[in-house]
Amino acid sequence: MDKRQIFQSMADAIERGPVEFSSGARQALGLRSALADPSCHAARAAQLISAEPVLAARVVAMANSLAYNPLQREINDLTSAITRLGFATLRSLCMALFAKRLAGPALPSELQALTDQLWLHTVDVAALARVIARRVTQVDPEAALFAGVMHEVPGFYLLSHAAAYPGLLDGDCSLWYDEGEALLGRALLEALDLPASVRQAIDTYWEGYLAMPPTSLGDTLLLAEQLAPTPSPLHQGNAEYRLPNNPAALDCLVGEHLLSDILAEAREEVSSLQHALGF
């Protein structure tokens, strides 16, 4: 079976369902569903999240990040952190935990190294997407954060199944980023019941057409992807998906300001988000 057939077979299996995830990933999905219940209030959310100590620590860290705490009024209890962040951000953090756990606990060392790099890349993109949304494209920053967290879920899913297909990751990754990522991703993101606007933004990322100046959620994600300091290990050889390593490449006007200047001013905000997302 060649790589294209493997990608198609994996997508078909997702569409037939049910999709099999690791136990830790299922727990994160269950928590996201519980937080989506309209009757779930801050105290109940704190009770649910406290059962996941790693997530609880990230919630407090996110609430104290510069992005959510510009006045630097530190808090250290979970309920206050939840109130500050809001439930949309909480659900994004649940899905970040889901993505981190998707590959399961026992990968071969070479796959674990790829997974770790993909996670660092995801954190970079999610942090940049929120800042770009707020300062540049004027779209919902929390939707941008969520799209950034979710855009590499197909890659994590691929890595979680790669051991069953010897040679799948050998050679270049062109077939993955040209065809496989979108093929597998559309099936997977539909199975996860993501909002249509987020799926459309990730579709824009797969298509790779960035408008200048950027205005949409898809543009936000694409720009964050291209500017992420940690490259995706599954896009090796794809020279088109990253802007040249040259400050002049960022000097497009957004309103009356240069994009490079905006991002330079937001460096601390991006850094605080990257730290907070570091599961």
pLDDT score at 238: 66
Whole-angstrom CA distances from 149 to 14, 66, 75, 129 are 20, 19, 24, 9
pLDDT score at 259: 76
Whole-angstrom CA distances from 266 to 133, 153, 206, 221 are 12, 26, 26, 17
**Euclidean distance between CA atoms 220 and 144, whole angstroms:** 7
Question: Which tens digit of pLDDT belongs to each residue from 169-223?
Answer: 988 888 999 999 999 999 999 999 999 999 999 999 999 888 878 899 999 999 9
Length of the chain, please? 279
Tokens of 33: 């569903």
Cis check for the bond before 213: say yes or no (omega within 30 of 0).
yes
pLDDT score at 265: 83
Question: Which tens digit of pLDDT belongs to each residue from 17-42?
Answer: 899 898 899 999 999 999 999 999 99
| For the chain, domain boundaries | 1-17+104-279, 23-101
pLDDT score at 256: 65
pLDDT score at 247: 46
pLDDT score at 245: 45
**Euclidean distance between CA atoms 208 and 226, whole angstroms:** 10
Q: Fold for domain 1-17+104-279?
A: Hypothetical protein af1432 (1.10.3210)
10-residue mean pLDDT profile of the chain (279 residues): values are 90 92 92 94 94 94 95 93 96 94 81 93 95 93 97 95 90 89 95 94 92 90 91 79 51 70 86 91
pTM: 0.92
